[in-house]
């Protein structure tokens, strides 16, 4: 595979499956630490009773640990796209360091993405929306235009997005472009 995409925190796996189906010629690495999420994705890839016959997509890989460990060991400029869909917001100010969109992780994302590659981020949480706007506004590693307020074409729905709609929140959808 000459192109590779990475998803950080796939939750139930709906978006990972959706994007990997839209991009069958791309290596897709889906990461998640939550065991229920891993089981949910695995049961979509290999339905119960079909363990002996199911053929999971050959271009799909699961990283069942903290995505930051994987990022740390990845070579420079190896990814063509990355997704961070509805990350945990850690809304309390004293937990802000745990937010994935954070200067240290932004540097790492810049290192592993190819020049011109896209990093998609979505959030429905007002604290996180403000945080991303602020943090990305202060960096110069990515082009960071204002977010879309409707899911752009070609993005796949997620479980957390559906919950946000049910509860009346408006997600922000950012498309960051890795600068050379
Ligand atoms: C709020 S949920 C959103 C799940 C999914 N993206 C969605 O939109 O439905 C955030 C997920 O990210 C996972 N997560 C948080 N930090 C992570 C990390 N460093 N590496 C991998 N997964 C992570 C959590 O376990 C959780 O399932």
- The superfamily in CATH containing domain 4-178 is Vaccinia Virus protein VP39 (3.40.50.150)
CA dihedral 49, 56, 63, 71 (to 10 degrees): -170
Task: Please check the confidence at residue 109 and state whether its pLDDT lies above 90.
Answer: yes
Question: Pick the catalytic residue: 52, 88, 140, 143?
Answer: 88
Q: How confident is the model at residue 48 (pLDDT cuts 50, 70, 90)?
A: confident
Average pLDDT over residues 172-176: 98
Using the atom order of ligand 1, give the atom closest to the CA of residue 63: 21
pLDDT tens for 62-102 read 999 999 999 999 999 999 999 999 999 999 999 999 999 99
What lies within 8 Å, CB to CB, of 161 at 6+ separation is: 85, 86, 122, 124, 151, 171
Domain ranges in the chain are 4-178
If you average pLDDT over residues 8-36, what whole number do you get?
A: 97
pLDDT of residue 51: 84
Read off the pTM: 0.97
Q: Is 140 an annotated catalytic residue?
A: no
């Amino acid at each position: 595979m000459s192109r590779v995409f990475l998803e950080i925190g796939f939750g139930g796996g709906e978006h990972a499956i959706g994007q990997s189906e839209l991009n069958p010629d791309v290596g897709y690495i889906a990461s998640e630490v939550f065991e229920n999420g891993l089981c949910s994705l695995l049961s979509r890839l290999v339905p119960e009773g079909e363990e002996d016959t199911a053929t999971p997509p050959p271009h799909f890989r699961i990283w069942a640990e903290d995505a930051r460990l994987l990022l740390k060991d990845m070579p420079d400029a190896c990814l063509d796209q990355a997704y961070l869909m509805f990350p945990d917001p850690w809304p309390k100010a004293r937990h802000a360091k745990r937010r994935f969109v954070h200067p240290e992780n932004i540097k790492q994302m810049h290192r592993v993405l190819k020049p011109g590659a896209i990093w998609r981020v979505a959030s429905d949480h007002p604290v996180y929306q403000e945080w991303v706007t602020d943090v990305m506004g202060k960096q110069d590693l990515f082009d960071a235009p204002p977010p879309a307020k409707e899911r752009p074409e070609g993005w796949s729905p997620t479980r957390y997005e559906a919950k946000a709609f049910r509860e009346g929140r408006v997600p922000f959808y950012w498309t960051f472009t890795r600068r050379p």
